């Protein structure tokens, strides 16, 4: 139930309750909050339960970037509260709709303010620019009773008091300082008095002030509780816990709609990060950006009508912006040039929400990253994640020369785990890779991203060295294989009970869309994996570079943007 | 709130560990928020009385526990052949009070995903967190069985040395009774057996009794008890920090994943049997 009371701002914690890496448990109007400060200073006020099994997040672990639940290790991102990782299923990217409830919050005057549906301005705090935050005093009494009694607070000679518009009370000593007292209504019969003194203090003077007020407030507390004891105790407040998104009830995540540019972002930084590579920092025009996971990419819709995919390079917890790196391609069809030459700081771009078809497993004891050139971008985000969690990895970055090393600063954080291989010939690269990939094993994984020929070679070297198909993860920037769209065949849609014909010259995706079926897609060239669809029956002519050889042989899924039927008919699981 | 679920009222529930009762010869217990007096008679049988009315309730001693029915027994106490096998130690690990619904305890018992996080270094350890697909079925006897449950465990048993891949089989007999069969490294074809008899004290309170049937080879009773207490002490604070305390049966109340397949069936089974005590029924 939301009432007028829920739309107010209340102080729920002192800033000093949120030391580094702590999670503080607060309560307001019967609802528990988990309150934590990320290393970037942002204060998160969330529903105090994990969406999975309802365990209090206040007993979770704040790693400075994410909050990790104690029960199953689910991770929720700073700022967005979106789930970034579900350890029980390391190969899956969590559905985007798994997002905890956030509550409006502000940190001002040494207090953290929140409200279930708070909006508008905080109370006017004129005269309280410099403050000492008093020790909060809990009172077993209803808010109204506490608020009434605050007026009788006397801390020095000649105190006068007045009630402010927000219900707080300012008590001023004759010719001296003022104290402003607020009530935090935790529950129907439980409140906390939070006070501010209108002067800064430190050292012994501060201790003396805190002791003085603490003693007097404790006295006030005893008086209020004595009065409350003679009254009937109200029933505890009942809070409703919002239901989770409907698509999460059936276990497979629901597919998202089409190729959409649902977000508007502003380019707030544009800089050359290496020769021929520009990095863009993108910030939301309004509201928070959706949660991303390492390996995720976004579609950027350019002014010239082109749509291009770029991986996010962000580390965990960097949730107030997205960073992408774009290489100027000499044989560009207009995408990279449009970004290099046509996009300037301050411009607004249309982008899709992040999709993750290249998820990072975090159940490896050791992970090997092999990046070639601009292929570094998704792997950088992954490595930063493992580095932050203290999981073992090594990062091999193959570049033409030192001038081509992008995102130098981020690599600096990873120390010895990173090896830059400069200016190697294809033969030398092969030798190096054979050495790097010589030890496959249990719980060891390799992630590869780079130009097509290098990627092919690396996959082959890994397979030859004995790495299992499931341990080799890769992402192509583009699909350069020759594609044949001359065949014509039928598709049966098992769940929607439809039969459609795919003529030559059209893709399955085209035909599905024409029939009004919403299918998500991104690169539309068989590289990114977004338009993947289950196949129940029929032989597939795979023309993508997303599926692994094993997945292709199993024939259980198809990339609808490029692949076709090798038989007359396919039965698709949609 | 009182219990109106016929399926629970007419069933048998453990209210005392016989060994404990023998030390005191009388003790009180609470079941469905009703106070009970338990007396050990000279002939070794137990008498359970409803404290308020003085009514003597149907009771039995079995597997070293006192069982009582507050209604009219509609079925027998479950059969556990493992309890009668001579080459097993059959011991109680202790009766643990928990400030949470017993149904939450059952669900936690059925869950492998928490091993690396709650039982770190014993039943699991990061980064080995994957819960591989497993089989779940409802048997013709109306029990839930989960099989082919594999998990890597650093210290899988009281006397384990080094990590092993463990196979579990889970079995839910009754709403408040759940067991597991677990790999014994010394006997490839036999399994150690653990069963929880949960006493629903209230909808948000329970006592977890347990019977541990471990193959004797290389094992001893104090270690079996010690291991159970170690593991349960790790579960208890998690269970007591779940909100709400009762188990929600609405599919949209919490977020299931594939690893929760057995829990999903358990919640549906409770709903189909109209179990509401300790649960929040689906709207």
Per CB-CB distance under 8 Å, the chain A contacts of B253 are: 241, 243-244
pTM for this entry = 0.88
Statement to judge: residues A157 and A297 lie in one domain: no
For residues A177 and A319, state if they share a domain.
no
Beta strands in A307-426 (DSSP E): 307-311, 322-327, 348-351, 366-372, 393-399, 418-422
Reported as a pLDDT band with limits 50, 70 and 90, residue A37 is very high
Residue A242 lies in a domain: no
Q: ipTM for the complex? A: 0.96
* Nearest-Cα residue of chain B relative to residue A71: B114
pLDDT digits (tens, 9 = 90+) for B64-81: 999 999 999 999 999 999
Specify the DSSP element, H or E, that contains A33: strand A31-37
Give the closest-approach CA distance of B208 to chain A in angstroms.
20
Record the tokens describing residue A282, joined without a space. Answer: 């993108």
Q: Is residue A248 part of a domain?
A: no
Q: B133 at the A interface (CB within 8 A)?
A: no
Q: Which pLDDT band holds residue A543 (cuts at 50, 70, 90)? A: very high
Domain limits for position A222: 5-229
Percent of chain A with pLDDT over 90: 74
A31 pLDDT above the threshold of 80: yes
Domain co-membership, A275 together with A346 = yes
Number of domains chain A is built from:
4
Residue A258: its pLDDT value, please? 54
Measured distance CA(A72)–CA(A134) in Å, rounded: 38
| Distance of alpha carbon A481 from alpha carbon B170, whole angstroms | 49
A29 and A143 co-located in one domain: yes
Distance in angstroms (rounded) separating the CA atoms of residues A26 and A243: 22
User: Is residue A394 included in any domain, yes or no?
Assistant: yes
**Is residue B219 over pLDDT 50?**
yes
Instruction: Give the pLDDT mean for B201-227.
Output: 96
**Least CB–CB distance from B113: residue in A72, A245, A364:** A72
pLDDT band at A333 (very low <50, low <70, confident <90, very high): confident
Q: What is the pLDDT of residues A154-206, one digit of tens each?
A: 999 899 999 998 889 999 999 889 999 999 999 999 999 999 999 999 999 99
| pLDDT for the residue A252 | 40
- Return mean pLDDT, chain B: 95
* Mean pLDDT on A23-41: 97
Q: Which of A53, A91, A249 sits opposite B242 (nearest CB)?
A: A53
- State residue A257's pLDDT score: 46
- Asked if the structure places residue A255 within a domain, the reply is no
Question: Is residue A387 helix, strand or coil?
Answer: helix
Mean pLDDT, residues A82-102: 91
Q: What are the C-alpha distances in Å from A325 to residues A122, A273, A412? A: 40, 8, 17
**Contact (CB<8Å) A443/B244:** no
- Bridge partner list, B30: B35
Distance from CA of A15 to the nearest CA of B (A): 25
CB A227 within 8 A of CB A144: no
Nearest residue on chain A to B114, alpha-carbon basis: A72
Q: Determine contact, residues B115/B257, Cβ cutoff 8 Å.
A: no
Give A54's contacts in chain B (Cβ within 8 Å). Answer: 242-244, 248, 254
In a domain, A165, yes or no: yes
pLDDT tens digits for A386-417? Answer: 999 999 999 999 999 999 999 998 898 899 99
Average pLDDT of span B163-167:
89
Sheet of A297-301, strand order: A307-311, A297-301, A348-351, A263-274, A277-284, A322-327
Tokens for A544?
A: 């993508």
Please, which residues 349-378 of chain A have a Cβ atom closer than 8 Å to chain B? 362-365
Per-residue pLDDT for A442 more than 50?
Answer: yes
On whether both A179 and A318 belong to a single domain, the answer is: no
All domains of chain B, ordered by start, with CATH? 6-68 (2.20.25.680), 81-280 (3.90.380.10)
Residues A101, A187, single domain; the answer is yes
Q: For B8-37, what is each residue's pLDDT tens digit?
A: 999 999 999 999 999 988 999 999 999 999
Contact A363 B128 (CB under 8 A): yes
- pLDDT in the model for residue B2: 85
Flag whether pLDDT at B84 surpasses 90. Answer: yes
- Which residues 241-280 in chain B show a CB within 8 A of chain A? 241-244, 248, 250-259
Interface of A with B in 382-401 (CB under 8 A): 391
Q: CA A345, CA A336: separation in Å to the nearest integer?
A: 16
**Cβ atoms within 10 Å of B271's Cβ, excluding its own:** 16
Q: Tokens 């411009």 map to which residue? A: A347
Q: For residues A345 and A270, is the Cβ–Cβ distance under 8 A?
A: yes
Q: A205 and A94 in one domain?
A: yes
Q: What is the CATH number of the domain that holds A380?
A: 3.40.50.80
List of chain B residues whose C-beta atoms are within 8 Å of the C-beta of residue A86 = 257
- Residue A273 lies inside a defined structural domain of this protein: yes
Peptide bond just before B244 cis, omega within 30 deg:
yes
Q: From CA A391, how far away is CA A294, in angstroms rounded?
A: 14
Inter-chain CB proximity A52 and B254 less than 8 Å: yes
Please tell me the distance from the alpha carbon of residue B46 to that of residue B18, in angstroms, as a whole number.
9
Distance between CA atoms of A43 and A78, rounded to whole angstroms?
9
Measured between beta carbons, the chain B residues lying within 8 angstroms of A239 are none
Q: What CATH number does residue A532 fall under?
A: 3.10.20.30
pLDDT mean across residues, chain A? 92
Residues in A closer than 8 angstroms to B116, CB to CB, are 73, 87
CATH number at residue A90: 2.102.10.10
Question: Percent of chain A, pLDDT > 70?
Answer: 97
| Predicted local distance difference test score (pLDDT) of residue B159 | 77
- Considering only CB atoms, which chain B residues are within 8 Å of A248? 252, 255-256
Residue B72 contacts A where some CB pair is shorter than 8 Å = no
Residue in A199, A164, A200 with CA at minimum distance from that of residue A182: A164
Stretch A436-458: mean pLDDT, rounded?
94
Residues A191 and A295 in one domain: no
Strand ranges inside A102-213, DSSP E: 105-108, 111-114, 132-133, 137-139, 160-163, 169-172, 178-187, 190-197
A71/B118 touch (CB, cutoff 8 Å), yes or no:
yes
Asked if the C-beta of A56 comes within 8 angstroms of chain B's C-beta atoms, the answer is: yes
Same domain, A95 and A13: yes
Q: Report strand pairing: A393-399 vs A366-372.
A: parallel
Asked if residue A407 belongs to a domain, the reply is: yes
CATH number for the domain spanning A285: value is: 2.40.30.10
A144: its two tokens:
């109204």
Please report whether residue A356 resides in a domain. Answer: no
* Span B165-169, average pLDDT: 94
Q: Does one domain contain both A55 and A184? A: yes
The pLDDT assigned to A249 comes to 67
A137 shares a domain with A200: yes
Question: What are the pLDDT digits (tens) for A215-269?
Answer: 999 999 999 999 999 999 999 998 888 888 877 766 443 344 456 778 889 999 9
- Do A143 and A170 fall within a single domain? yes
Confidence of residue A1 (pLDDT cuts 50, 70, 90): very low
């Amino acid at each position: 139930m939301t009432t007028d009371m829920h739309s107010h701002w209340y102080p729920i914690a002192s800033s000093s309750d949120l030391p580094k890496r702590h999670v503080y448990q607060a309560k307001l109007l019967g609802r528990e909050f988990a309150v934590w400060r990320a290393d970037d200073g942002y204060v998160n006020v969330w529903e105090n339960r994990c969406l999975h099994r309802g365990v209090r997040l206040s007993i979770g672990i704040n790693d400075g970037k994410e909050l990790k639940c104690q029960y199953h290790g689910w991770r929720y991102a700073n700022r967005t509260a979106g789930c970034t990782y579900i350890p029980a299923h390391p190969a899956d990217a969590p559905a985007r709709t798994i997002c905890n409830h956030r509550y409006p919050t502000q940190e001002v005057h040494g207090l953290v303010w929140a409200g279930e549906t708070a909006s508008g301005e905080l109370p006017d705090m004129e005269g309280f620019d410099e403050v000492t935050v008093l020790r909060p005093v809990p009172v077993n009494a209803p808010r109204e009773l506490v608020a009434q009694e605050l007026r009788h607070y006397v801390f020095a000679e000649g105190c006068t008091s007045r009630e402010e518009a927000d219900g707080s009370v300012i008590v001023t000593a004759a010719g001296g300082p003022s104290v402003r007292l607020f009530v935090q209504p935790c529950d129907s019969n439980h409140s906390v008095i939070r006070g501010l003194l209108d002067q800064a203090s430190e050292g012994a003077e501060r201790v003396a002030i805190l002791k003085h007020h603490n003693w007097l407030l404790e006295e006030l507390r005893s008086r209020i509780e004595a009065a409350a004891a003679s009254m009937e105790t109200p029933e505890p407040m009942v809070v409703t816990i919002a239901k989770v998104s409907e698509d999460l009830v059936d276990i497979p995540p629901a597919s998202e709609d089409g190729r959409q540019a649902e977000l508007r972002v502003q380019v707030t930084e544009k800089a050359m990060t290496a020769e021929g590579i520009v990095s863009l920092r993108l910030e939301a025009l309004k509201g928070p950006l959706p949660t991303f996971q390492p390996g995720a990419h976004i579609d950027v819709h350019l002014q010239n009508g082109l749509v291009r995919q770029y991986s996010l390079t962000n580390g965990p917890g960097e949730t107030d912006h997205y960073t992408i790196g774009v290489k100027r391609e000499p044989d560009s069809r207009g995408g990279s040039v449009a970004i290099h030459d046509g996009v300037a700081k301050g411009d607004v771009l249309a982008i899709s929400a992040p999709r993750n078809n290249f998820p990072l497993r975090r159940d490896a004891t050791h992970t090997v990253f092999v990046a070639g050139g601009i292929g570094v971008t998704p792997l950088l985000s992954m490595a930063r994640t493992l580095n932050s969690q203290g999981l073992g990895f090594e990062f091999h970055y193959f570049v033409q020369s030192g001038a081509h090393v992008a995102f130098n600063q981020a690599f600096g954080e990873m120390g010895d785990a990173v090896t830059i291989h400069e200016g190697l010939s294809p033969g030398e690269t092969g030798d190096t890779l054979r050495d790097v990939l010589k030890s496959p094993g249990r719980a060891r994984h390799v992630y590869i991203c780079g130009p097509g020929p290098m990627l092919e070679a690396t996959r082959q070297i890994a397979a030859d060295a004995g790495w299992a198909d499931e341990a080799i993860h890769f992402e192509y920037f583009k699909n350069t294989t020759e594609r044949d769209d001359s065949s014509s065949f039928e598709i049966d849609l098992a769940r929607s009970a439809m039969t459609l014909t795919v003529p030559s010259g059209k893709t399955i995706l085209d035909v599905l869309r024409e029939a009004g079926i919403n299918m998500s897609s991104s690169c539309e060239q068989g590289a990114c994996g977004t338009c993947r669809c289950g196949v129940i029956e029929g032989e597939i002519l795979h023309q993508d570079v997303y599926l692994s050889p094993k997945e292709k042989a199993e024939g259980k899924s198809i990339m609808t943007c490029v692949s076709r039927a090798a038989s007359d008919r396919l039965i698709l699981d949609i | 709130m009182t219990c109106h679920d016929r399926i629970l009222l007419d069933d048998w529930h453990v209210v005392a560990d016989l060994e404990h009762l023998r030390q005191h010869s009388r003790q009180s217990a609470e079941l469905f928020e009703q106070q009970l007096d338990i007396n050990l008679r000279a002939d070794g049988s137990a008498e359970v009385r409803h404290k308020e009315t003085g009514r003597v309730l149907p009771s039995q001693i079995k597997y070293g526990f006192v069982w009582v029915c507050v209604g009219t027994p509609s079925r027998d106490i479950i059969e556990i052949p493992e309890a009668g096998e001579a080459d097993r130690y059959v011991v109680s690990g202790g009766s643990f009070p928990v400030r949470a619904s017993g149904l939450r305890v059952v669900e936690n018992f059925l869950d492998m995903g928490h091993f690396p996080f709650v039982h770190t270094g014993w039943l699991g350890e990061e980064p080995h967190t994957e819960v591989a697909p497993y089989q779940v079925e409802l048997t013709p006897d109306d029990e839930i069985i989960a099989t082919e449950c594999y998990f890597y465990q650093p210290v899988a048993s009281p006397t384990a040395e080094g990590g092993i891949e463990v196979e579990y089989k889970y079995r839910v007999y009754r709403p408040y009774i759940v067991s597991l069969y677990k790999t014994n490294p010394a006997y490839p074809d036999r399994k150690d057996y653990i069963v929880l008899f949960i006493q629903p004290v209230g909808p948000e309170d329970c006592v977890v009794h347990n019977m541990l049937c471990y193959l004797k080879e290389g094992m001893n009773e104090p270690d079996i008890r010690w291991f159970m207490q170690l593991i349960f002490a790790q579960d208890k604070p998690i269970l007591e920090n779940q909100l709400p305390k009762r188990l929600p049966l609405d599919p949209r109340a919490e977020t299931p994943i594939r690893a929760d397949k057995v829990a999903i069936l358990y919640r549906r089974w409770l709903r189909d049997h109209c179990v509401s005590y300790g649960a929040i029924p689906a709207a």
